[in-house]
Amino acid sequence: MSDAFFRTEMTPPKAPPITERGVVKWLRENLFAGPYNTILTLVALYVLYSLLSNVIPWLLNGVWNANSLQECRDIVAASAGEGATGACWAMIRERWNQFLFGLYPQDLYWRPALALALLLVAIAPVLFSRVPRQLFWLTLFYPAIAFFLLWGGSIWTPIVAMMGFGVMALAYRLLVPLTGVTVAAMLGVLAAVLWWLLLDARLAEMLSTAIPVGLRSVGSDQFGGFLLALVIGVTAISFSLPLGILLALGRQSDLPVIKMLCVGFIEFIRGVPLITLIFTAALLLGYFLPRGTNFDTILRVIILVTFFAAAYLAEVIRGGLAALPRGQYEAADALGLDYWRAQRLIILPQALKISIPGIVSTFIGLFKDTTLVSFVALLDPLRGVTSVVRADLNWKGIYWEPYIFVGAIFFVICFGMSRYSMYLEKKLKTDHR
């Protein structure tokens, strides 16, 4: 019997076949997995080639220094040859201020720029937990500061208006031990409304006469561009979320009157196009106001846009509330919490976490819908300012460049909101860890 042979070392591994590794494997699995995928891939590559072969030269031949569209075309023809096309970015370079500020006085650009900078600081403690909590004071008073910077006028107008919130808080604190949370909150809101209707204007006028301190006034008809979009969008987003939460809770209320009012409001607003509400705010609302009342057009639009967004947010948040298991409500009852504490500590935090994608989607749609204000003669960045710029004889015939510029800014802002939504979802995801 012969001696058996045993291998004393391992055979070196061989590389996998070329079709099972690297780029070839990825292409075969993702682009050429079968005849239909191959056909779709080839068609998509042809379409992509056709687009890029026209867009890339148009971008590369772009002109940044010119005084008119014809001058742009002459420069492109001289550099790239007759028949060549190129983007005329010189129009953006010359009219960027109108796209950003509309007809706002140029010597006062520092005011909206300062308001934007303060906005970024004011929303920081709301969006990020590591920001110093002391900045919440700026967040609370930012609406008055922004109003004073943007519209100007007497400094006492926003101060007296903010005092209405102080009246609301004082009334609430005094009435809570006597009437309970719900009634105290309603009476506090009523006290603030009476303050604004009966005392606000008179007290502000008296203080303005006694101590005349203020900035140069700027009319709402001079607002435009992204300044107008941010004013309407940020204000509507800030106020529509708490209003939407209250509407969602009211729709689930056991009180028939509260539930009926909330359901009626939500269904009516959601059943009417936004452009109809904007027309109502800008054109028809004045007929129902007392004679001589000067109700700012931008303020009217902000109120109606806020109501519109709040109705949609109420349904989004109601979906989050419905997604919570019944055990969460029972746990709150077992702990002896009243309705508002249970909502604040247990129910709403979980419902809002579930509703984050829908809430942010509503905010993004709301910000883009600010362009509809062009139908009521306000200079939005998409239609209003672009039409004004294209009406200039020097830029007559220009088309793609202003829309690309405006679209790029809208994309940056909306993409930022989307990324923050993903960050917030990841941060608050505490299950399945």
Predicted pLDDT at 43: 94
- Domain segments of the chain as ranges: 18-53, 97-104+218-428, 155-215
Percentage of residues of the chain with pLDDT beyond 70? 94
Helix, strand, coil content of the chain in percent (nearest 5): 75, 0, 20
Phi, psi angles (nearest 5°) of residue 63: -115, 130
Phi, psi angles (nearest 5°) of residue 2: -80, 155
Predicted pLDDT at 363: 92
Predicted pLDDT at 412: 93
Q: Which of 18-32, 105-119, 347-361 bottoms out in mean pLDDT, i.e. has the lowest? A: 18-32
| pLDDT per position as a tens digit, 85-103 | 888 888 888 888 888 888 8
In the chain, DSSP finds a helix count (H) and a strand count (E) of 19, 2
| pLDDT per position as a tens digit, 222-235 | 888 899 999 999 99
pLDDT bin (cut points 50, 70, 90) of residue 3 is low
**Structure tokens that stand for 403 in this block:** 């829309």
How many other CB atoms are found less than 10 A from the CB of residue 202?
10
Taking the alpha carbons of 29, 31, 32, 34 in that order, is the dihedral positive or negative?
positive
| pLDDT per position as a tens digit, 178-222 | 877 778 888 888 888 888 888 888 888 888 888 888 888 888 888
Q: What is the pTM of this model?
A: 0.84
Mean predicted lDDT score pLDDT of the chain: 85
* Three-class SS state of 31: coil
Rounded CA separation 168/187 (Å): 8
pLDDT bin (cut points 50, 70, 90) of residue 111 is very high
pLDDT bin (cut points 50, 70, 90) of residue 430 is low
| pLDDT per position as a tens digit, 279-310 | 877 777 666 665 655 677 888 888 889 999 99
Query: What is the dotted CATH code of the domain comprising 97-104+218-428?
Result: 1.10.3720.10
